[in-house]
Amino acid sequence: MTQAIPLAIKSAPGKSTTIGGGVQAMAHEILSHLQRLHETGETAAIDLKSLPMAPDEFHGIKKMLGQGEIDLTLELDGPTRIRETAYAGIWWIQHTGKDGRILAEFIEITRFPDFLGAQPDQIADAARHLRDRLEKQSQGAA
């Protein structure tokens, strides 16, 4: 081996290459979910990792949906970001691991994402703990 071969690797598609359904198609799908949410209360979610999308399509849909009032980042072994888009009822959720790898990314069409809510069995546990604590306090006082 004498010299390194200058390699110009081009593996990404060209600019504005449309692969999947394109921004329009996805927006239409989101719209139909949103209408259903409004009419029947039925929630939906779209797994962004499962759709073959060109990078500019991904940014396109992100830009189109915009940013709403809520932008939360939770620290759970790596950041989890929950954003409300500019459209009420459309949320953008990104779970990232500690190494920066995106574990899951999806658009949820719902009143508020499942993830934000307290889990039912967690509530039961919390009630039990609080009751135990209050009992202990009253015993201590007595």
Q: Is 34 in the site for another protein (CB under 8 A)?
A: no
Stretch 38-77: interaction string toward another protein, x if CB under 8 A: -----xxxxx-xx-x---------------------x-xx
Of 69 and 121, CB closest to another protein: 121
Q: How many CB atoms lie within 10 A of CB 60?
A: 19
- Picking from 69, 20, 68, the residue whose alpha carbon sits closest to that of residue 47 is 20
Helix (H) or strand (E) holding 107: strand 102-109
* Structure tokens that stand for 137 in this block: 């306090």
Nearest residue (CB) to another protein, 25 versus 137: 25
CB of 140 to another protein, least distance (A): 26
